């Protein structure tokens, strides 16, 4: 069955380019992103892995580990990493899971037979410190993902986990937030000492509480 938001992220042990990992243990108490690639030695995937390697410090800053997966075997991944480093002018700095028996791909429902019955689609799972799934995304093989969007989502998830706010359309870290509808007007001054403005009774803004 497909995984849904709030479900526990299935645990697994797998061989990666950085040795064997147990997923939950490897995540520790932090956040994590697991993202799938249709196949090794493919152009879009190559650019995606290079892009994430260059952004690794941004994920680290957010206490978020990143791990990629492709159904090809580890020997294939090892050769591909050399190509990624060469063509993307980077050094791979996070693990790629080898999943030739499709164990992890099946656990996470990453193979969508009506798109391709062998290779994974471009799935993304963001996992919280409680090991629960906080975001799922599914892109087709032909569309490379926007990893800046994933950083933006992590900022929103981390903010809304601690404060009674939500983030509006196209919100970026530092911009005003929406006061959660569950917050009563009478509670607003104490919860949001930076102030608030009410556009409609259900649409109230406050400066970002954690900045």
Active site residues: 45
124 touches ligand BEZ (CB under 6 A) = no
Out of 18, 30, 42, 152, name the contact with ligand BEZ by CB under 6 A: 42
133 touches ligand BEZ (CB under 6 A) = no
Out of 19, 43, 113, 174, name the contact with ligand BEZ by CB under 6 A: 43
C-alpha dihedral sign at 137, 140, 141, 143:
negative
Q: Closest distance between ligand BEZ and the C-beta of residue 46, in Å?
A: 7
Stretch that binds ligand BEZ, among 35-43, 49-57, 158-166, 184-192 (CB under 6 A): 35-43
Stretch that binds ligand BEZ, among 43-51, 86-94, 165-173, 191-199 (CB under 6 A): 43-51
Q: Which of residues 142-201 bind ligand BEZ (CB under 6 A)?
A: 142
112 touches ligand BEZ (CB under 6 A) = no
CB 57 within 8 A of CB 19: no
Residue with Cβ nearer ligand BEZ (142 or 170): 142
Out of 51, 141, 153, 191, name the contact with ligand BEZ by CB under 6 A: 141
Give contact residues for ligand BEZ (rule: CB under 6 A): 38-39, 42-45, 141-142
């Amino acid at each position: 069955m497909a995984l849904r938001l709030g479900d526990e992220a299935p645990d697994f042990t797998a061989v990666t380019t950085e040795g064997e990992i147990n997923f939950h243990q490897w995540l520790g108490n932090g956040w994590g992103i697991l993202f799938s690639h249709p196949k090794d030695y493919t152009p879009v995937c190559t650019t995606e892995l290079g892009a994430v390697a260059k952004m690794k410090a941004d994920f680290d800053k957010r206490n978020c580990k990143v791990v990629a997966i492709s159904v090809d075997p580890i020997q294939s991944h090892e050769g591909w990493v050399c190509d990624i480093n060469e063509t993307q002018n980077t050094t791979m700095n996070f693990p790629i899971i080898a999943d030739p028996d499709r164990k992890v791909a099946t656990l996470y429902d990453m193979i969508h037979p009506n798109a391709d019955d062998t290779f994974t689609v471009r799935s993304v799972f963001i996992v919280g410190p409680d090991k629960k799934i906080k975001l799922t995304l599914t892109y087709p093989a032909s569309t490379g993902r926007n990893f800046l969007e994933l950083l933006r989502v992590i900022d929103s998830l981390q903010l809304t986990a601690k404060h009674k706010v939500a983030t509006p359309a196209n919100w970026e870290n530092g911009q005003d937030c929406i006061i959660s509808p569950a917050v009563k007007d009478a509670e607003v001054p104490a919860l949001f000492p930076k102030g608030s403005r009410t556009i409609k009774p259900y649409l109230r803004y406050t400066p970002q509480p954690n900045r």
